[in-house]
């Protein structure tokens, strides 16, 4: 039907690639063994029958989506049980190996109602239950005899934990806790799987003993009868309704009417309540936020993955799509040849790399902190907390905005759900508000920075990631080397901190209270916190590339450096206002950087498709008509593709950017899946339109 | 159930308001008469039974959504026929009166499958059919005897019209055109209502006569049998599938297999084909892009309206929502008291004002151009074209990004569809890619600017909106007055143009062809085009406020000026890099502006709720649990509310921000509408979960 041979364009793109794509894939996977394991698992699991949707879920009703995802989750669990050899390893051991795993995204692309079971529920038992409790509940949970979730956020209360209202009042006569929701705003709201999936939950509630409040404590609560699944007496549970994304996650609400649970259902690894109502406090409250830190570190990895998917789709599509006329008489060029298009897409690839490598460094920091904790040293935990906050904020906002740039770079077709770009935006943008809303986190980072500023003024030492704040030798002149750029961004960060502290102090001098002065200067303070995060990302991305580059071939080293330089120059141009204010950069330097940026786009252009191919994201995961891949082309990936089942695309969820470039065929195939296309005339014609057009309605 | 009295907070907010909200509403409506007419129409139409959804459409399947919207469209049409006294006025006459009309958005919030009938289809007949054709088709179309759409974009071709492939070949023997789609990429793709609603379409196709191509021409084509609605022979028609928004618009595809239509089905107001195949060209090709210009002007109005809805929701919610602790011992403050929150929301209100007033100026320009055209003077059309492009780009990207800021400012609850913020984002962001993708339009603006630059160099006069480019007296020193800011933004625009032209010329000198040099400098060129748009928006917003302020009361004048100043200072701080590069602004000036910005937020804070109330958007339109309104509070709007039917919220589509502040009650009410909440145990428990948890699956 089609006379267009886009295949040819992609094949040409791949032939132009200057580096070995497989080598980059192994590097991104932290070694060949992980790539092999990941691909093997993907091949096995994704060839399970009935695991992938035949009709895209976008056509289903809200209720049908839930029913479909439950069916698939159960099947997926069984397949993983069979094929995943890391499945029973403790999470700490396997986490680095599985950072790039995406197999579950192919099955539940809008996420799963059981994601909180394997994530938060089991993790919370490990972190907060005592040995006896762990023995009982971990076994039941790991065997999937029960399905759990984690319920903390309430309808009227989010980030501010002290504001949570749900009460657990201890009754020493019966040795029970009475869970009660005093108001509508105290209803739990949001937990995944809570609505109709979970029969147990770990519920956070304000502990009251003899009218005294002992703060938030975790309770294991049975929600539903194990046999009938009916909610237990006094339990008000249901779903909160449709959302921008996560529509298959079954987010729920939960209220209690004087529900009694035995004393041993409070998780007592840290704090304890004795039979007589004596409260024994946790030895260290800081330990509880270690979980939160881990979750934020994981978010940095998640958003980098989302962005790698979005850029894969947009770059392949830009290689296939032809539009307008650049030169008279010539055919319509690939839109990837427009420098304005490269300007949108190359930075998306570079940013995905930046956070990919940064998160690996952050894991190393986190490992060291955990080691210290086991030795009883807790002093490095606050720094990790600040780093995780700052990097969660920067990565989530930057990757989300670039996912959207990728979508819009595909024009109208990117607006179609079959491109999967709108759905990627939906799940990616959620990271900006969940697990600590970004502005709230930046204010926390700002508090630490201001404390550090005070310590530096008193000559006290700072933590390593903030040490540049006291480095007096920084005031060097502009230097466009990568080291120079990092140094100048540190100057910017320090200067913005100095300037916002000065404003804050001025507001205090003018008569405002500490809190009001802080509030009034807070726009500047969060800008300083962001600048601190920026200085860190630039420094760490550079450091990691330099480390990695030692062990890779020269052509790959070149392209890794080009992406790094692109990222550096891009941010220098983005933040030129700050640099002009606080460093010695000149107009001439800015023009030279602009020129360098344009040269870098040209240098990177031939490797664009190769770079996204190296993300090695399967069609079932990309789930995009714009970005899928079939292995008929480009020899270096071809070899790898030959190990895959012949039918690599058992079901395409999307239509815009296949590896083979059959963009338009896929768009049409997808369109034909619409239930509306099953009948030439929809019933509404007879019921409404015809009488309407005859003037009878 | 709830002990929270948010009502009280909103009432207090309204009591603080320093200006007359009604006065601002009338001003926004361009006069009391329009407000009265608009409210009257809203009251009548929205009290029509069955017009509003009882179950939010987010719960329906894709197919059910279509069936539901058709039912409602027919009812809405009848209601408008009965109540809209401007209904039969020519569009040019009524357009200014109805710019703020939103009644159809209350009924079809994701838009209507008939929107292209009343918009493009009838407009194209008026603009492109000859008198005889108009007489026949306009009557049938206006009476809704037929339903039409406008089909131009193809699967493989968008903005670049010459690339369209569909052919209409004239057969002089039978005096017919033969419509044929030679490839899959030549299928029409996207037209609203095309899939299952329309039975006629105006189809753009390349006209061929005796093997010679005469370019794109419009044809009136019957798609479906008027009696059975079955597609006619050779017509391949269907729907393209779900999208990020516009899911009730029934976008379709359309292919032709040698479909013959009579010669008089080509619309011949401009170009003509005689019986013998003689082609008579259009007297002026520029006239055809007048329609496109009008559509772009309308987009500026549309996005300003979307942003006014989003800011209404987010501001009311911020007045109701309480979180964290600002000062020890004090209760959780309204989140609107956080300066970081004001930083997000005040600029949203100001930006909505900026484009609201700018579009009115643009209409005046457009009227003058139309007048000139009727006098045969076409020389002002190109300037209007550039203005419409630049303002479409700036307004769509700025308002879209602020709609999203408003959503995220509502935290997790903004992610729920019942807030209506995700849907507002969906329809708003579409404006960035439709009717000319933004980057493509900026490149067109850049071309005009470079031409103007050359003309200025040769001492030739420039069009009024570009005249600042040749103004040699501009190189004044920094001046923080509003006039000074406008002047300095003009300097920035001129300097960025100069700098990008210099780069472009340098690339040519280095040996690149004109086209390659243009492409390589294009990132700078679009930045210059954007700077030009920015200078215009700042100048026009200021000019319009100064004009309007003469006729309003002092308190309103103050707040209008504060918003204007906020907008000016905000953009000065945003673009401080450009200003530091090209003007004499100093670090000291920047700090003073930052301080002024913080003061302005404080000054505007007490009027935040009043300002969004003045947008006067009804609950049925806001359709938001975060933003709806019931008239029990704030006396100045209370009076107006008493004219409304008692049941102002027959159906709430959303849950987050009601006028009465019953945020949490509404969230719960909405959640209870979920089909999943109709049964305590979903069937998947028995089918999957139970056997799964028993290890039997």
Q: Name the residue with tokens 């394991």.
A: A37
* CATH, domain A35-115+291-431, list 1.10.10.2840, 1.25.60.10, 1.20.140.10, 3.40.50.720: 1.20.140.10
B3 is in an annotated binding site: no
| For residues A151-159, average pLDDT | 85
Quote the CA–CA distance of B450 and B501 in Å, as a whole number. Answer: 7
Identify the weakest region by mean pLDDT among A96-110, B335-349, B637-651: B637-651
Contact yes or no for A684 and B156 at CB 8 A = no
**Whether the Cβ atoms of residue A182 and residue A168 lie closer than 8 Å to each other:** no
Q: What angle do CA B81, B84, B88 make, to 5 degrees?
A: 75
Given phi > 0 = left and psi -120 to 50 = alpha, else beta, which region is B324?
A: left
Quote the CA–CA distance of B547 and B542 in Å, as a whole number. Answer: 9
pTM attached to this predicted model: 0.92
Catalytic residue among A172, A175, A435, A640: A435
Q: For chain A, what is the mean pLDDT?
A: 87
The answer to whether residue A634 scores a pLDDT higher than 50 is: no
The answer to whether residue A43 scores a pLDDT higher than 80 is: yes
The answer to whether residue A645 scores a pLDDT higher than 70 is: no
Query: Which residue of A5, A184, A236, A241 to mutate against B (max B Cβ within 10 Å)?
Result: A241
Nearest to B64 by CA among A208, A151, A542, A675: A675
Torsion over CA: A458, A462, A467, A468 (sign): negative
DSSP state of B49: T
Contact yes or no for B433 and A415 at CB 8 A = yes
User: What is the DSSP secondary-structure string of A177-214?
Assistant: EEEE--SGGGSEE--TTTTTT-SEEEEEEEEEETTEEE
- For residue B412, what is the nearest residue in chain A, using CA coordinates? A433
Please tell me the CATH code under which domain A116-121+145-282 is placed. Answer: 2.40.110.10
Element (DSSP H or E) covering residue A235? strand A235-239
- What's chain A's Rg over C-alpha atoms? 27
Contact yes or no for A515 and B580 at CB 8 A = no
Distance from CA of B88 to the nearest CA of A (A): 17
User: What is the DSSP secondary-structure string of B288-305?
Assistant: GHHHHHHHHHHHHHHHHH
> Cα B122 to the chain's mean position, in Å?
20
Identify the weakest region by mean pLDDT among A52-56, A120-124, A164-168, A361-365: A52-56
A153 is in an annotated binding site: yes
Under the banding of pLDDT at 50, 70 and 90, the label for residue A170 is very high
| For residues B498-526, average pLDDT | 97
Among A61, A71, A526, beta carbon nearest to B60: A61
Question: What residue spans define the domains of chain A?
Answer: 35-115+291-431, 116-121+145-282, 649-696
Under the banding of pLDDT at 50, 70 and 90, the label for residue B636 is very low
Q: What pLDDT, on the 0 to 100 scale, is given for residue B633?
A: 22
Torsion over CA: B408, B414, B416, B417 (sign): negative
Nearest to A468 by CA among A379, A525, A532: A532
Give the number of beta-carbon pairs within 8 Å between A and B.
400
Contact yes or no for B58 and A687 at CB 8 A = no
Q: For chain B, what is the mean pLDDT?
A: 87
Task: Report pLDDT digits (tens) over B389-438.
Answer: 999 999 999 999 999 999 999 998 889 888 899 999 999 999 999 989 99
| For residues A106-110, average pLDDT | 92
Query: Which residue of B182, B507, B671, B683 to mutate against A (max A Cβ within 10 Å)?
Result: B671
Q: What pLDDT, on the 0 to 100 scale, is given for residue B413?
A: 87
List chain B residues with CB under 8 Å of A415. 243-245, 430, 433
Half-sphere exposure of B648 (CA within 13 A, CB side): 21
Query: Which residue of B241, B317, B328, B503 to mutate against A (max A Cβ within 10 Å)?
Result: B241
Under the banding of pLDDT at 50, 70 and 90, the label for residue B638 is very low
Quote the CA–CA distance of B54 and B31 in Å, as a whole number. Answer: 34
**Whether the Cβ atoms of residue A604 and residue A562 lie closer than 8 Å to each other:** yes
Strands B272-273 and B279-280, by their bridges, are antiparallel
- What's chain B's Rg over C-alpha atoms? 27
Quote the CA–CA distance of B520 and B516 in Å, as a whole number. Answer: 6
Q: What pLDDT, on the 0 to 100 scale, is given for residue A610?
A: 96
Under the banding of pLDDT at 50, 70 and 90, the label for residue B315 is very high
Q: What is the ipTM of this complex?
A: 0.91
Element (DSSP H or E) covering residue A696? none
> Cα B353 to the chain's mean position, in Å?
14
């Amino acid at each position: 039907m089609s006379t267009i041979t886009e295949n040819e364009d992609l094949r040409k793109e791949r032939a132009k690639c200057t580096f070995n794509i497989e080598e980059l894939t192994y590097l991104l996977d932290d070694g060949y063994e992980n790539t092999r394991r990941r691909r093997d698992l993907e091949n096995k699991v994704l060839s399970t029958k009935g695991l992938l949707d035949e009709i895209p879920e976008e056509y289903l009703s809200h209720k049908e989506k839930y029913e479909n995802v439950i069916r698939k989750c159960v099947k997926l669990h069984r397949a993983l049980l069979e094929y995943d050899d890391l499945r029973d390893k403790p999470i700490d051991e396997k986490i680095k190996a599985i950072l790039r795993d995406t197999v579950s995204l192919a099955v539940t692309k809008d996420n799963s109602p059981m994601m909180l079971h394997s994530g938060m529920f089991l993790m919370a038992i490990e972190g907060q239950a005592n040995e006896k409790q762990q023995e009982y509940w971990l076994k039941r949970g790991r065997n999937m005899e029960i399905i759990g979730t984690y319920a903390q956020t309430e309808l009227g209360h989010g980030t501010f934990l002290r504001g949570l209202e749900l009460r657990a009042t201890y009754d020493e006569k019966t040795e029970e806790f009475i869970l009660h929701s005093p108001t509508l705003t105290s209803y739990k709201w949001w937990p995944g799987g809570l609505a109709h999936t979970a029969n147990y939950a770990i519920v956070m509630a304000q502990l009251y003993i003899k009218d005294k409040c002992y703060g938030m404590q975790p309770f294991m609560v049975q929600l539903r009868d194990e046999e009938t699944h009916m909610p237990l007496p006094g339990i008000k549970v249901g779903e909160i309704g449709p959302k921008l994304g996560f529509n298959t996650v079954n987010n729920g609400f939960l209220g209690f009417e004087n529900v009694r649970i035995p004393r041993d259902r409070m998780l007592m690894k840290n704090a304890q309540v004795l039979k007589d109502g004596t409260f024994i406090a946790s030895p260290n409250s800081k330990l509880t936020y270690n979980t939160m830190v881990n979750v934020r570190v994981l978010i940095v990895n998640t958003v980098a993955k989302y962005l790698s998917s979005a850029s894969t789709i947009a770059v392949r599509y830009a290689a296939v799509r032809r539009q307008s006329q650049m030169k008279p008489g010539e055919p319509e060029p690939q839109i990837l040849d427009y420098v304005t298009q490269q300007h949108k897409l190359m930075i998306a690839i570079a940013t995905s790399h930046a956070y990919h490598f940064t998160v690996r460094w952050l894991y190393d920091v986190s490992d060291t902190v955990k080691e210290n904790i086991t030795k009883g040293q807790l002093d490095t935990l606050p720094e990790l907390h600040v780093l995780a906050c700052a990097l969660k904020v920067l990565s989530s906002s930057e990757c989300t905005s670039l996912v959207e740039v990728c979508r819009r770079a595909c024009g109208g077709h990117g607006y179609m759900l079959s491109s999967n770009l709108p759905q990627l935006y939906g799940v990616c943008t959620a990271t900006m508000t969940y697990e600590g809303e970004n502005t709230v986190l930046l204010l926390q980072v700002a508090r630490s920075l201001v404390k550090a500023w005070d310590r530096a003024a008193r000559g006290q030492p700072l933590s390593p990631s903030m040490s540049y704040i006291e480095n007096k030798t920084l005031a060097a002149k502009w230097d466009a080397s990568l080291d120079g750029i990092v140094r100048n961004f540190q100057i910017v960060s320090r200067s913005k901190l100095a300037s916002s502290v000065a404003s804050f102090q001025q507001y205090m001098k003018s008569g405002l209270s500490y809190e009001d002065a802080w509030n009034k200067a807070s726009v500047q303070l969060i800008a300083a916190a962001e600048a601190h995060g920026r200085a860190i990302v630039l420094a760490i991305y550079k450091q990691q590339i330099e480390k990695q580059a030692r062990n890779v071939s020269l052509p790959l080293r070149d392209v890794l450096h080009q992406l790094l330089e692109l990222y550096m120059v891009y941010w220098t141009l983005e933040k030129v206002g700050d640099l002009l204010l606080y460093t010695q950069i000149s107009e001439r330097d800015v023009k030279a950087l602009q020129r360098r940026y344009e040269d870098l786009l040209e240098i990177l252009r031939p490797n664009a498709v190769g770079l996204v191919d190296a993300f090695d994201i399967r069609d079932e995961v990309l789930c995009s008509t714009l970005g899928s891949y079939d292995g008929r082309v480009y020899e270096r990936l071809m070899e790898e593709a030959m190990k895959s089942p012949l039918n690599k695309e058992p079901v395409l969820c999307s239509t815009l950017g296949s590896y083979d470039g059959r963009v338009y065929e896929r768009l049409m195939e997808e369109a034909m899946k619409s239930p509306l296309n099953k009948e030439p005339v929809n019933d509404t014609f007879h019921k409404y339109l015809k009488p309407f057009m005859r003037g009878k309605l």
